[in-house]
Structures are given as C-alpha cells and as structure tokens.
Structure 1
Amino acid sequence: MTEQDDWEREFDHRWANSAEHKEPSARARMLAARWKDNPPNPAPFRADAEPVPRRSSWASTAMVFGCVVAIMVLIGLVQYSSAG
C-alpha cells in the first residue's frame, strides 16, 4: 500500500460522518452537566457588555459640517497662496 492509501484509510471522513451515533464533545458534555441544575439566563446574540452612549444627531451633523467647512477653507488657502 502507498502512503496515500494509509492516510485515506486513517482519516476517512465519509465513514465517520455516516455513523449512526455521534458522541458530543467534552465541552458539550461539560456544559450540559453544568446547565442541568443551573441553566443560563437568556441573552441576546452577541450582546454588548454595556450599552454604548449614543451621540445626538445634531452633534454628528455639526461634526460633518465642520469638517466640510475646514476642507473648503484649506482648499481656498492653498489656491490663494498658489495664485499670489
């Protein structure tokens, strides 16, 4: 037999996946035993640790407007200095 045949026989995933009974992993067994007496509290999917404070829409608008004005002033200064 070749080395490839040994590899395929040793790691035959089709045979393993076709097994009728699949044993849960060690972590799954540990969590099942822990949660049997003390089930976890329901939690939303990927919940934040703490709520994030929201900015007001006015603050965001003012920041965008300020950046646009600053860019316009900078462009004007560059054009003024290159013209004179």
Structure 2
Amino acid sequence: MPERDDEEREFDIKWADGAEHKEPSARARMLAARWKENPPGPVPFRGEPEHTASRRSSGRSSGRSSSWVSTAVVLGCVAAVIVFLGYIDFRPY
C-alpha cells in the first residue's frame, strides 16, 4: 500500500508542476492588492542600511576605520594573552 501512495503522490506532483496556470502565493496576492492602491516608491540598488546611516549622522567615522580599530583591539588582546602565558610559564615556583 505505501508504494501505491508514493506513486499517486508522484503523479500529483507531476500534474501540479505541469499546470498551465499557477496561482500566486498569499503574500504575492497581498502585495499586489496593496501596491494597486499605494504603489511603492523607487528604491536605490544598494540602499544604505539604517544602522549605518545613524552611525554616520552621530559624527562617528566611517565603517572602514572602525574595522581597523577592532582588528587592532583583537590583535592586542591576542598579544596580551601570549605575553601573559609566557610570563606564567617562565615564573619560578
């Protein structure tokens, strides 16, 4: 019996995939209805994320320099751990 169910299910999938007209999803229907009354405005290809825009408006520097600062902080922490472990290893008991 399970084999017959699999065959029927496969037939149904092939039948559904071969349909000439496919109904849009509920989200697509909702957006189409919303945009019919209130069409969306133009959107730039790569819009600036909101959190980046607020960071720049507060007077901070761009994200490029902050990535160097965070890299320097991480490398400094790694160097401090290496020095600390070396100090523990060479300390007389």
Shorter-chain-normalised TM-score: which range? 0.5 to 0.7
Percent identity reads: 46
**What TM-score does the superposition give when structure 1 sets the normalisation length?**
0.63
Measured after TM superposition, the shift of residue 49 of structure 1 is 3.9
Which structure has the greater CA radius of gyration?
1
- List structure 1 runs of 4+ shifted beyond 6 angstroms: none
Higher RCO (CA < 8 A, seq sep 6+): 2
**What TM-score does the superposition give when structure 2 sets the normalisation length?**
0.59
Flag structure 1 segments of 5+ consecutive residues without an equivalent.
none
Q: Counterparts of 1:27-42 in structure 2 under 5 Å?
A: 27-41=27-41, 42=43
Measured after TM superposition, the shift of residue 43 of structure 1 is 6.0
Q: Which residue in 1 is equivalent to 2:70?
A: 60
Cα distance in structure 1, aligned partners of 2:86 and 2:77: 14
Cα distance in structure 2, aligned partners of 1:69 and 1:44: 42
Flag structure 2 segments of 5+ consecutive residues without an equivalent.
56-62
More helix by share: 2
